[in-house]
Amino acid sequence: MLPAKRLLTLLFCALYFFEVTFADSLIVQAAVSLAANNLDIGKTLEQLATVDTLKSMAIAGGTAGITRGISDKVGMKVPGDKSFDLLDRMKYNMLKSGVGFGTRTAIDGGKVVQNLVVDGVGGLVDTGLGHVAEKIGDAYKGVPNEGGTDGVQGTPRISSLTHKGLHGLAGGVAGGLKGAVKAAVTGDDVGQAALSSVVSGAFGSVVTEIVAEAYESRIQEKVTDEIVDELLNAGETIDQEAFEALVNDRYLAAVEEERETIGKVSKLATVGLSFGLGIDPQTAIDTGSTTLENNFIPHLVVGAVWAGGIAWTAYDTYKAYQDGGAAGALKSLAVDGVIAVVTGGAMKLGGKIVKPLAKGAWQYGKTVFPTAEKALEAVVQDNKIFGKIFSRLSSKSEKQVVQKTVTTELKTVSTNIEQNVVETSVKSGEKSGCKVVIEEERSLAVVSSRNFTRHALERMEERKITTTMVDKALSKGRTFWDQKNNVINYVLDEGFASGKSLIVGQDPVTKNITTVIPVKAKKVEAMLKRMTEVRP
């Protein structure tokens, strides 16, 4: 065995060279020790300080880091890369086993043949588990096209519960095999070790999948918001291809940003949940990591491929919805081929193959959905990303349109007033008493830019409000957006001799006056709390 100082120097050089951090294995080892010592922190710290524990940490950290480092340096494909096939998986796992064997033998010593058998079989089992995990993922989320990032075909064939159950089964078999082989070469009870490892392996796979799925929603949430902003800002000026590329990049960046965190949280959750259950945390973590690498991360990356296509479709559908209502939106979806297929399978959309949305929505008009609105609702609810983008586009866009209308309207009023002030100033050079003339002209300027609804005229008559008072409110009042009633309110503070204020409502689109309400000055502010003050 190598002397300790030489060993540590070698290890840290390797860690530095391959840019590996020690923290990950330290955290996991601490959690494993804590579990083994029934949450006794004193004993855990004692154990962490022992040579065996340090060796174990060095092996775990070193193996993971050096494997990653070598694959980076030689350009080897890793799980999650494009077209990562069975042969690539075999190469990757054998590299990992080889590094594991070397690190274990160098640090821990022991019998070379024993280590070789344990790590060699471990590599083969991990290859098998990885392959099975990927197939389970395909059945759950759809199949990546050849080339990895050219699209997705197929529809989910298994439920979430079946998906977790199958991962548990695969993880259990893999854990059991590894445990049995290790027990056989070390002379332990093979049956007992296999049984314990089956349970631990299954546990690790299931917990990891559950944690990872929770993160998937978080990533989708984050990317969806960015997509919606991008769509609304870019609008007509961006073409579909450029937009899809942008969305894909965003999605991939978000996955990349979160993948390490997902791994760490999954490990800690596995260890944390294994407290008191008689689960071997290390076996659970190992199978969980293999499941994560081979199933979850590749399928997340695949998700990015069709996120762009779905986002663009949502935008197209939204525009069609604005023009032709729900029926128009459905027609647009049908033209795109999104709801034309009812039996699952692949379909073409804007150069990409995507999963069909709402299998049954196309049956609109064939008794399933009584109205176009209901059918569109089914489409929106049936696809998570599409639904989120469509809904947020609707709400965000509505706010922007309203804001734009209000701003434009106020600018128009302001311009009218300014123009009349200039005209009046010219006139005032010819006449005396120009102040009065200016007031009159300003009012007239606004009068020409508004009409009254008959409802407003009746209110004015009942409340003894003159057009001059309305115009004064329009020209001098504070302006507030009342989103509940969709009007701009002009508030003329204490505009009456009695000290009352006047609220004049105006439709921002038609400019028609909608109503006039006199209100006691001290009660106005309370009412305005619900509204948003807008300035020209």
Residues sharing a CB contact under 8 Å with residue 436, sequence separation 6 or more, in sequence order: none
Whether 289 contacts 206, CB under 8 Å: no
* Residue span 75-114 as binding mask against other proteins, x where in contact by CB under 8 A, dash where not: ----------------------------------------
CA distance linking residue 67 with residue 420, whole number of Å: 77
- Does 486 contact other proteins by CB under 8 A? yes
* Segment lying near other proteins (by CB under 8 A), choices 4-12, 23-31, 135-143, 523-531: 523-531
Question: Which of 95, 329, 503, 504: binder of other proteins (CB under 8 A)?
Answer: 503
Is the Cβ of residue 123 or residue 508 nearer to other proteins in the bound state?
Answer: 508
Contact between 178 and 121 under an 8 Å Cβ cutoff? The reply is yes
Nearer to other proteins, 210 or 528 (CB): 528
Closer residue to other proteins, CB minimum distance, 247 or 531: 531
Please tell me what DSSP assigns to residue 480: E
- Decide: helix, strand or coil at residue 506: strand
532 binds other proteins (CB under 8 A): no
**Candidate residues 485, 494, 533, 536; the one interacting with other proteins per rule CB under 8 A:** 485
Decide if 500 contacts 519 (C-beta within 8 A): yes
- How far apart CA 94 and CA 106 sit, in angstroms, is 18
Q: Which stretch binds other proteins (CB under 8 A): 6-14, 74-82, 387-395, 502-510?
A: 502-510
Shortest reach from residue 443's CB to other proteins, in Å: 23
Minimum distance from residue 500 beta carbon to other proteins (Å): 6
- By CB under 8 A, residue 478 contacts other proteins: no
Which residue, 73 or 463, is less far from other proteins as judged by CB? 463
C-alpha neighbours within 13 Å on the C-beta side of residue 139: 16
Concatenating the DSSP letter of every residue in 2-47 gives --HHHHHHHHHHHHHHTT--SHHHHHHHHHHHHHHTTT-HHHHHHH
Please report whether residue 341 would count as binding other proteins according to CB under 8 A.
no
Among 459, 465, 473, 495, binds other proteins (CB under 8 A): 459
| Nearer of residues 37 and 486 to other proteins, judged by Cβ | 486
The answer to the question of residue 483 lying near other proteins (CB under 8 A) is no
Complex with other proteins: residue 425 or 532, whichever CB lies closer? 532
Q: Find out whether 104 and 119 touch, Cβ atoms under 8 Å.
A: yes
Of 93-101, 265-273, 377-385, 501-509, the segment contacting other proteins by CB under 8 A is: 501-509
Q: How far apart are CA 92 and CA 87, in angstroms?
A: 9
The single residue among 74, 113, 161, 526 that binds other proteins, judged by CB under 8 A, is 526
For residues 321-340, which are near other proteins according to CB under 8 A? none
Cβ burial, residue 159 (10 Å; 0-12/13-18/19+): exposed
Output 82 or 520, the one with its CB closest to other proteins: 520
DSSP 393-409: HHHHHHHHHHHHHHHHH
* Interatomic CA distance for residues 488 and 29, integer angstroms: 63
Using CB under 8 A, list all residues that contact other proteins: 453-455, 459, 462-463, 484-486, 500, 503, 505, 507, 510, 512, 514-515, 517-520, 523, 526-527, 529-530
